Amino acid sequence: MLKYMNSHFLQQQLNIVYKKQIIKQIKKKIQNGNEFHLCLSQGAHKSLRMKKRLIKANKQNRPLPNWFRYRTDNTIRYNSKRRHWRRTKLNIN
């Protein structure tokens, strides 16, 4: 138990150090006047353009309807552009 607690404590300390390093980098870039894009996670505030792109990607990410599959002379069996939310990202900045 003590070994687990020590490793957990060390992991927390490493996370704190990592966050401090990121903050230092941001402050340095702001002081230099450089533009930068830091995307750690999806933000809560989205522009209308971003929302439209996300909505379109969400609509496209669905299986084929069965009536389309059952048509005669149909060779398309599945949606080849299907995207998993965790494996394949959209690369939207």
Q: For the chain, how many structural domains are there in total?
A: 1
Is 65 inside any structural domain?
yes
Distance CA 68, CA 75 (A): 10
Is 18 inside any structural domain?
no
State the pLDDT at residue 72: 85
Is 28 inside any structural domain?
no
> Residue-wise over 41-59: b if at least 16 C-beta within 10 A, else e?
eeeeeeeeeeeeeeeeeee
State the pLDDT at residue 77: 92
Res. 17: pLDDT tops 60: yes
Is 74 inside any structural domain?
yes
Residues constituting the chain: 93
State the pLDDT at residue 32: 74
Distance CA 66, CA 88 (A): 25
Is 83 inside any structural domain?
yes
- CATH code of the domain in which 75 resides: 1.10.1620.10
- Which pTM does this prediction carry? 0.51
Is 72 inside any structural domain?
yes
State the pLDDT at residue 82: 96
Distance CA 75, CA 20 (A): 55
How does pLDDT run across 19-73, given as a tens digit for each residue? 777 787 777 777 777 655 555 556 789 999 999 999 999 999 999 999 999 998 8
Tell me how many degrees the CA angle 25-28-31 measures, rounded to the nearest 5.
Answer: 150
* Residues of the domain holding 72: 46-92
Are 92 and 43 in contact by the 8 Å Cβ rule? The answer is no
Stretch 71-92: mean pLDDT: 92
Helix (H) or strand (E) holding 42: none
Is 24 inside any structural domain?
no
State the pLDDT at residue 36: 52
Is 22 inside any structural domain?
no
